[in-house]
Amino acid sequence: MEHPVTVENLTVAYHQKPVLREVEFSVPKGKLIGIVGPNGAGKSTLIKSILGLIPRASGEVQIFGKPYKQERRRIGYVPQRESVDWDFPTSALDVVLMGRYGHIGWFRRPSSKDKALAMSALEKVGMADYADRQISQLSGGQQQRVFLARALAQDAEIYFMDEPFVGVDAATEKAIIALLTELKHQGKTVLVVHHDLQTVTEYFDWVLLLNIRLIEFGPTEEVFTAENLQKTYGGRLSLLQESGNLSAFKA
């Protein structure tokens, strides 16, 4: 069986300065995977380069053994909330329906089935009562739930999520991780850019430690160690420890 995602020799550069260098890994099916590293490590860049949203200097990406363009319908994506124009005049339901366009085409109207699937996705994230609400009138946590519902409406096999827990309250974070766990149990593969080291062992089956280069990738209990975190964060690790951000970490 082909791996859901295979990355080979991936290098990305901005103004000739590498922000990712020779990254290689293969993702197992049906796992909830955290992408972890310091600010500027290239975590978001990794996702965007896999999805073809930014150019690669070198390297290849395969989705189930095929080029991304051939398999894009099998992928759901939740971008960073700050990258979205929340003032765009559209409702929560319309945003979720955008997740169906890969199935229905951009120039066809959504069917009653598509609308029912979109409403079902909103119900799963607790936002059905806000279907007609303009997205600009939603709170940060509600907006994140709507974008998660859009990804669910895609009925994808692989999900990429860029910092889905940033700016949300504890209840929303709990709801999101429960939904991601449910997707995993359905055999979906989920990759999440994540910044809170305290919850890595609780949330993720596998972890990818990144700092421009791939530091380590594998099952969380094997990879999320003090030694590997030191390699990933360097001197910043002691600052995190002093600030209490690693208080729950057990080496």
For residue 245, the model assigns a pLDDT of: 53
DSSP 91: B
C-beta separation of 75 from 152 below 8 A: no
Average the pLDDT over 161-171 and give the result: 87
The CA-based angle 168-250-46, given to 5 degrees, is: 50
- 14 band by pLDDT with thresholds 50, 70 and 90: confident
In angstroms, the CA 211 to CA 175 distance is: 29
For residue 247, the model assigns a pLDDT of: 44
Strand blocks (E) in 58-174: 58-63, 66-67, 75-78, 158-162
In angstroms, the CA 119 to CA 97 distance is: 9
Summarize pLDDT for 35-48 with one digit per residue, the tens: 999 999 999 999 99
For residue 86, the model assigns a pLDDT of: 66
Mean model confidence pLDDT for the chain:
87
In single-letter form, the type of residue at position 196 comes to: D
In angstroms, the CA 145 to CA 65 distance is: 31
* CB neighbours of residue 35 within 10 Å: 26
For residues 84 and 221, the model is more confident at 221
- Angle, helix 140-153 to helix 112-124, in steps of 10 degrees: 130
In single-letter form, the type of residue at position 172 comes to: T
C-beta separation of 212 from 227 below 8 A: no
Average the pLDDT over 58-77 and give the result: 91
Summarize pLDDT for 102-123 with one digit per residue, the tens: 655 555 677 788 888 889 999 9
In angstroms, the CA 27 to CA 214 distance is: 13
Q: What residue has token string 């293969």?
A: 26
- 238 band by pLDDT with thresholds 50, 70 and 90: low
Residue 236 pLDDT > 70: no
DSSP sequence for 28-86:
PTT-EEEEE--TTSSHHHHHHHHTTSS--SEEEEEETTEEHHHHGGGEEEE--GGGS-T
For residues 251 and 101, the model is more confident at 101
Average the pLDDT over 129-150 and give the result: 89
Residue 218 pLDDT > 60: yes
